[in-house]
Amino acid sequence: MKSKFTLLILLLSVSLTSFSQTIQRYCGHDHVMQKARTDNPNFDLEHDQFIAQAINENNLIRQNDTVYTVQVVFHILYKNGDPYQNVSDSLIQSQLDALNRDFNMRNADTADTRPIFKDIAGNARIEFVLAKKRPNGNCADAIIRKTYNAPSNFTPIILDFLVKEDLFGGSSAWNTNKYLNIWVLDLNKGRNPEEGFLGGYAYFPQMTPVNHNGVAIDYRFFGQNNPYITDVLPGFARYSMGRACVHEVGHWFGLRHIWGDLGTLDPSLGCTADDGINDTPNAATAYANNGSCFDTIVNSCVDEPIDFPDMFENFMDYSSDECQSMYTVEQVAVMRSSLLNFRPQLIHEPIVNETEVIYAEVIENENIELCFDLGECFGFDEMTSQFSSGDSTYSSSKGDAQLVQGESCIVYNSSDFNADNDVDSFAVVIYDAHFNEYDTTIFVITIKRLCPTTQTIDVSVAEESVTTICLEGDNCLEGEYTLEFIGQSSTYNSNIFAASITDHCIEFLGLDYRPSDNFKRIFVVSNYGDVLDTTYINVTVTDVATGIELVNSKNNFIDVYPNPTNGLFTIEQNIQSNNDIKVLIYNTIGHVVAQSTITANQRKTVMDINALSKGVYIVAFTTEDKISFEKLILE
């Protein structure tokens, strides 16, 4: 609602057993308005023009999705020995959380907004962060704590200098063009509680002196679940959601009370004034004077063309915290326009601490210390550090890593790992509670074998055939390597089979051996120049033609010459067979690549395999009752 006149307004009546009369909390907005008009006789006209322009002309400001960030500085002025005035860091954080909750529609109680108002609820899209740097660029703690002797019966604005200047015992503001300064102190010293509690007050954007511009909050109504309310004023529990500060920051952005303030002088005049904003229904007086927020049909003024009830959900009313849940769309337009037009330097580009990814190798059964860089301005308060949890990609549960508290290093012990668990990825999160800053480092750890390693391979070599296996290099040894046989003994004998090495492969020739030669072992190493990596190969000879009499050249069944051959070779039988002899030539993987027939009573035949690739072949000779194999080498 629009208001050209304001007066000291009682926020809400709450019955307390500790006092015989009704206790009330109020806002010092009337003193602010009085000073604004004194300093500038045209204030009301100019402010109304600004609101009208924000609503009617700044649709882009109202509609764009840009989230603006505002840095906050807290000045905590407290009496020594008072357990409540020197508010805790956690209570300060809870107040920041409340501001961000309500200015960005993250409050769960938006669900309680009455349906008639849901479509006009607005998201201001303004984030509040604790400042990390002074205007000169130096990292600094933005929570200033000073002992303070609060004046009795404090009057807002008139005695502002006592609060907001070091010279007079207060705490001087950081540059108010760049920071939202919030002073937290006792605003009610010496005040009779039966006359009400002053909750806070705030300057409008264009008010002077500039170095006093900001928000002041009584410590009793600061933050969420304030311990003073819990311990001393339990009847004020409905004001424990941090919305006194949300209300005052709304004033700081240029909003007035929605009921139009005039009704505090005479309720019969209240409907003649409003706040200049169209989507806040007219009301005769603050909703707190009408009863609890369960009175959903209270309608103190007639609106046109739609007669809305009084909007107790609005943060700029005096309903209790538990009733409030919204700013309107047009209120959002005014606040965003105020930020862009009156305080553009307030818009802050947050420091983004990019996620750091570190790749490292850990040798099996060895420890390693890994260090990383922290984000900007860390270190003014004790940091907490933790591994991420519950993440399928990055999880510390995979590794036995220990994070050194308050330092940017971890000690990693891979003693529980073998090379089968070759990669361990997890994230480490560092959190500075004072600056509300997170810094994430992702480690990708490769577990490498303790070198050199030994492996055993079992190989089955078919009788009278050729088998080839290839060995991969060890994953913990880098560079080129060659294979070679190492010596021979009764246990390890590289010559027990006709084995040869080509590149990284070993060729086993089982042509002259029988299954009775079963289970022989050869000893091979991968030679990296200065490191030898051992491989034991167990060789088993298998029978390739069970039930068939095997005959080779030693029984003079067949002769093959020349062998090796350049392509043409002669096959000569040493017996006079009455049957044809079938000749099949196999390559080393068992495929027939050539064939011929020696007819009955024919003694010799010549074959040409020049078209085949150079290498080792097996020549098989079969009759009805005999079979024989010969190894043939094509050069």
The total of other beta-carbon atoms located within 10 Å of residue 103's CB is 27
Q: Are residues 85 and 226 in contact, defined by beta-carbon separation less than 8 angstroms?
A: no
DSSP classification of residue 173:
P
Q: Considering 165, 248, 322, 463, which one is annotated as catalytic?
A: 248
Q: Are residues 413 and 401 in contact, defined by beta-carbon separation less than 8 angstroms?
A: yes
State CA 174 to chain mean position distance: 32
Residues 88, 80: Cα–Cα separation, whole Å: 14
End-to-end CA distance of the chain: 103
Token code pair at residue 106: 């993250």
Token code pair at residue 243: 């919305």
Q: Are residues 67 and 124 in contact, defined by beta-carbon separation less than 8 angstroms?
A: no
Q: Are residues 408 and 353 in contact, defined by beta-carbon separation less than 8 angstroms?
A: no
3-state class (DSSP) for residue 477: coil
- Tokens 């984030």, residue? 127
Closest to 499 (Cα-Cα) out of 490, 486, 489: 486
Side chain identity at residue 262, one-letter code: L
CA 96 to each of CA 106, 223, 328, 540: distance values in angstroms, whole numbers, following the listed order: 13, 8, 21, 75
**Residue 457 pairs with which residues in a beta bridge?**
537
Residues 262, 79: Cα–Cα separation, whole Å: 37
Torsion angle of C-alpha atoms 109, 115, 117, 120, degrees rounded to 10: 90
Residues 93, 610: Cα–Cα separation, whole Å: 87
**Residue 314 pairs with which residues in a beta bridge?**
326
In 372-436, the DSSP E strands lie at 383-387, 400-403, 409-413, 423-432
248 catalytic? Reply is yes
Residues 315, 171: Cα–Cα separation, whole Å: 28
Residues 586, 166: Cα–Cα separation, whole Å: 101
Which residues are tagged catalytic? 248
